[in-house]
Amino acid sequence: MMDDPDADLVGGIASGDPDAMRRIVMAKLPRILLVATRMLGDKGEAEDVAQETFLRIWKHAGSWRQGRAKFDTWAHRVALNLCYDRLRRRREILVAEAPEMVDQGPLPDAGLLDDMSGERVQRALQSLAPRQREAIILVYYQDMSNRDAAEVMQIKVDALESLLARGRRTLRAMLNGEET
């Protein structure tokens, strides 16, 4: 069993130490925001997920057990579960009447946006199956090892590698303009 670098801070949070909580938020917020933004494709929703993640960390720090999972893995799992809850709610929204149809065609300046800040990649990521998107985000955007990402996703490493391979293949096809 290896020592978790966050164990002392989590212990402080479990004891109600606001300084320990501030330090965890400062250390983990950028990565939690990134994973939530990539999963949801919406910065506002990602901020809500990050806030809820840290609220749950504050309330449940005492339930984290060193040795069962690294704290970082546990925190990512909390954030990803919250993302999946939001994605499920998006699908479950029932409406009384059909929404107005908005022109889905590209805006006149759409070509300019494609070259800026990886929006094409972000749109392609949002089109992936959720588990493939989660695997790609954890490994490529969160710089997790395959083993750590598989642990966060609660799957075996070979299953993660399969998700990564399918996700990369689908992304490549989408970004090259091929039909998937």
Per-residue pLDDT 10s for the chain (180 aa) are: 458 888 899 999 999 999 999 999 999 999 999 999 989 988 999 999 999 999 999 998 888 777 677 888 889 999 999 999 998 887 655 555 545 544 454 443 344 344 444 778 888 888 899 999 999 988 988 888 999 899 989 999 999 999 999 999 998 888 887 655
Nearest-angstrom CA–CA distance, 12 and 17: 5
Fold agreement between 1-92 and 117-180: no
Residues 6+ apart with CB under 8 A from 77: 69, 152, 154
pLDDT at 140: 86
> What class, spelled out in words, does domain 117-180 have in CATH?
mainly alpha
- At residue 2, the pLDDT reads 55
Task: Classify domain 1-92 by CATH architecture.
Answer: Orthogonal Bundle (1.10)
CA distance 154 to 97: 39
Q: What is the pLDDT of residue 110?
A: 44
pTM (two decimals): 0.65
pLDDT at 49: 95
pLDDT value of residue 87: 86
Q: Where are the domains of the chain?
A: 1-92, 117-180
DSSP H or E segment with residue 107: none
